[in-house]
Structure 1
Amino acid sequence: MMINLLKEVGRGKRGARDLSYEESLQAATAILELKATPAQIGAFFVAERIKMESVEEIEAFVNVCRKHAYRAPIQQGLDCAGPYDGRRKSFYATFATSFVLAAAGLPVTLHGSASLPPKWGITLHDLLKESGIDADLLSRDRIVQAAKETGVLYVPVEEWCPPLKSLRSIRVELGMRTVLNTAEKLIDYSYSPYLIFGVYHNTVFERMAKLANNLNYKKALIVQGTEGSEDLFIERPTRTYFVENGQSQLNVIDPDAYGLETAVPDKDWTPAEQVLESEAILQGRGHLAFANQVLLNAAVRLQLAEKVDSIEEGIYICKDLLDNGAAWDLYRKWQTVMRSQSAQPCSS
């Protein structure tokens, strides 16, 4: 069966065709359940990379990933879907932003893994480890407890979706982006009605918008953000696609319109520097550019999730949460709960 599917996607750039949704389900099942051989899996990933994945093909991989993942309505808020290959040269605004949002009453789901190709950058996993939290060793109950107490859920995806762990070695050997780089971000572990999703190229806006609609999110924002992440730029406008009720539209978000545009300093980021800057911002200090970036990202996400009527209102609320210490207190509480069992093995 897999050989026949490979023949269709592997005929070269001109001869290859997109698989139907049913065919894509067959391919995704064979790959994620390791019924295909490593050679077939690698060949499929490369062929799809050359052809470019269709919406139906990505959707099939998302749904098979969801089938094999632990998913539960732990908290229904905003899912932040950034690239798992991490950052090399930009601030991880979404980390500090998540605690501001939770302090504002919007539950947030974050997810990630150890770094992956093609970027091999700093990941959320690295930030947690720098904070004394090894998410791969935490029991699921502990992670859920931290979410219930604070509104911030962090999912170690290779523990909660085991097929992704099984396929890591093949992805590392290939060293390139595969269909999994998109599918893994859309598993939606907590059944979130709202999605913010990062893309690197604006050429995929329409495909990702259609995919968000097919996956039945109430509202989604597709962001061409820093290093392909969901983080809006603070030094210049950011192109985004707003998706709701089967409709999508381009929306350029300009920080200058809110008095926040700020030059970003060149910085050699390490996990330690990322955590130090995040904690400084949550304490109401930190570099102005990165503090403003957190404010803008938090405000846009509050508006997306219908917590405020405007970005201006969101900025006002979020600045107050940073100034009065509410966001910092919540972060410290989350850190304490997550740290309290970080040496325990992960339970299924």
Structure 2
Amino acid sequence: MEFAPLIKEIGRGTRGARDLDEAQAEALFGAMLDRAVPELELGAILLSMRIKGESAAELAGFWRAMQARTARVEIAPATGPRCVLLPTFNGARKQANLMPLVARLLARAGVPVLIFGRHDFDSRISPFELLAALGLAPAATPEQASERLARERLAILPLAALNPGLDALMALRPRLGVRNSGHSVAKLLDAAPGRSVRVVAVTHPEYLDSMGQALLAQSAAGHRGLLMRASEGEAYAHLRRKAQLYGFIDGQRLDLHPADTTDLDWPLSPDCEPAANARLIEAMLDGREPLPPRIAEQVMALRRLAED
């Protein structure tokens, strides 16, 4: 595959760059995931896409390439609720990470949950350290994750076990200094097509549009999802902001947040160290601490998408 002609198209800056078509994007991202792009050209591609931004066609092509290389996790029984896929790529910075609370509440209600991701931020608390403090260890393989889902309704997988090429691409962030297209498309990863509900949590408002377009198209082929604003980059609802919960199912977008949603004056816990964070989650689970309304709304929306 010749990379220079593609770099010439996408590397002309925000005004002069041209978008790739879906087939070109799929072939290029596939080569990136297969580690078939030399380092110099790979760096040029990643930074060019970072400056230009992914078009809808490029994101669709990238997603197809990613899905073709993603391991599948079996969700049993076939007639039960869909599995909620909770990605974790950031970790806590200033406030408690309540992503595991969402997972535990869903599992307690009978909805299987697969947490997957990776961590490489020195300035943030690893979500995997938090999960360990809660007594939750990652599975080693997709098959082991399937067994845990059937038995316990909750499993954790490192991204490397699902898509090694994508994990390697995202691992370039510390070296390059910025995120790349792998971080964008990873939000859309579906390890259980037809049996999942993906949680796509975005930080920047413009991603509500681009991810919403992608989810709408994918939902027509049976890939369900919940699009929402992230908290510190993690897949749980911000406790104070008005809810933004958009469900995607069968080619339709559904507003799943309350119609009268407004900002809330809700305390944000600074307990982001793993042990303290875990104690807070356990206290919310057993009723010693109140359950934040935004978390309850997110869980309700996910149950609707998983159980319908």
Pairwise CA distance, 1:132: 5.3
Cα deviations across residues 32-74 of structure 1 (Å, max 9, x unaligned)?
1111111211211111111111122222222222222211332
Separation of aligned partners in 1, 2:255 and 2:135: 40
Q: Are 2:290 and 1:282 equivalent residues in the alignment?
A: no
Pairwise CA distance, 1:204: 2.0
Pairwise CA distance, 1:162: 1.2
CA RMSD of aligned residues (A): 2.8
User: What's the counterpart of residue 208 of structure 2?
Assistant: 205
Where does 1:177-256 land on structure 2 (aligned, <5 Å)? 177-191=179-193, 192-216=195-219, 217=222, 219-248=224-253, 253=258
- TM-score normalized with structure 1 length: 0.76
Pairwise CA distance, 1:223: 0.5
Q: Which runs of 5+ in 1 are unaligned?
A: 308-348
Q: Is the 8 A contact 1:90 1:226 kept in 2?
A: no
Separation of aligned partners in 1, 2:130 and 2:152: 18
Pairwise CA distance, 1:5: 1.0
User: What's the counterpart of residue 63 of structure 2?
Assistant: 62
Q: Is the 8 A contact 2:73 2:143 kept in 1?
A: no
Separation of aligned partners in 1, 2:180 and 2:236: 22
CA gap of 1:51–1:28, structure 2 versus 1, over 3 A, is same
Pairwise CA distance, 1:29: 1.6
Pairwise CA distance, 1:291: 4.6
The one-letter code sitting in structure 1 at the alignment partner of 2:127 is L
3-state SS in 1 of match to 2:246? strand
Separation of aligned partners in 2, 1:255 and 1:148: 38
Q: Are 2:92 and 1:87 equivalent residues in the alignment?
A: yes
Pairwise CA distance, 1:277: 1.4
Separation of aligned partners in 2, 1:252 and 1:77: 20
CA gap of 1:182–1:169, structure 2 versus 1, over 3 A, is closer
Q: Is the 8 A contact 1:93 1:293 kept in 2?
A: no
The one-letter code sitting in structure 2 at the alignment partner of 1:163 is G
User: What's the counterpart of residue 169 of structure 2?
Assistant: 167
3-state SS in 1 of match to 2:225? strand
3-state SS in 2 of match to 1:233? coil
3-state SS in 1 of match to 2:18? coil
3-state SS in 1 of match to 2:172? helix
Pairwise CA distance, 1:94: 2.5
Q: Is the 8 A contact 1:63 1:187 kept in 2?
A: no
Most deviating of 59-68 and 72-81: 72-81
3-state SS in 2 of match to 1:135? coil
CA gap of 1:201–1:254, structure 2 versus 1, over 3 A, is farther
Q: Are 2:82 and 1:77 equivalent residues in the alignment?
A: yes
Most deviating of 210-219 and 43-52: 210-219
Q: Which runs of 5+ in 2 are unaligned?
A: none
User: What's the counterpart of residue 11 of structure 2?
Assistant: 10
Most deviating of 295-304 and 21-30: 295-304
Separation of aligned partners in 1, 2:251 and 2:143: 36
Q: Is the 8 A contact 2:93 2:272 kept in 1?
A: yes
Pairwise CA distance, 1:268: 4.8
3-state SS in 2 of match to 1:87? coil
Q: Is the 8 A contact 1:45 1:178 kept in 2?
A: yes
CA gap of 1:3–1:18, structure 2 versus 1, over 3 A, is same
Q: Is the 8 A contact 1:225 1:233 kept in 2?
A: yes
Most deviating of 235-244 and 53-62: 235-244
Q: Are 2:270 and 1:267 equivalent residues in the alignment?
A: yes
User: What's the counterpart of residue 305 of structure 2?
Assistant: 304
CA gap of 1:166–1:306, structure 2 versus 1, over 3 A, is closer
Separation of aligned partners in 1, 2:95 and 2:87: 13
Separation of aligned partners in 1, 2:281 and 2:236: 14
3-state SS in 2 of match to 1:167? helix
CA gap of 1:255–1:87, structure 2 versus 1, over 3 A, is farther
Separation of aligned partners in 2, 1:282 and 1:172: 36
Aligned length: 300
User: What's the counterpart of residue 118 of structure 2?
Assistant: 113
CA gap of 1:162–1:219, structure 2 versus 1, over 3 A, is closer
3-state SS in 1 of match to 2:248? strand
CA gap of 1:17–1:82, structure 2 versus 1, over 3 A, is same
Higher helix share: 1
- TM-score normalized with structure 2 length: 0.85
Pairwise CA distance, 1:266: 4.9
